[in-house]
Amino acid sequence: MTQTHAPYRVDHVGSFLRPQELVVAREKFTAGELSQEELTLVEDQAIRELVKKKSLLV
């Protein structure tokens, strides 16, 4: 039998893995434990961190 999906999940943005804080925040948002505004704050911080890392690599 041919397997079409990896036996594990990798959650990433481009070549960067999503930070655990973002994964947890999205789970909490889905469960109704976090507002859209709170999720946006976590997402924005994750983006800032990624841009900072990316600019250090260039």
Q: How far apart are CA 9 and CA 12, in angstroms?
A: 10
Mean pLDDT of 5-13: 61
Mean pLDDT of 9-36: 85
Question: Whole-prediction pTM value?
Answer: 0.69
Rounded to a whole number of angstroms, the distance between the first and last alpha carbons of the chain is 43
More confident residue, 6 or 25: 25
More confident residue, 51 or 30: 30
Percent of the chain scored above 70 by pLDDT?
71
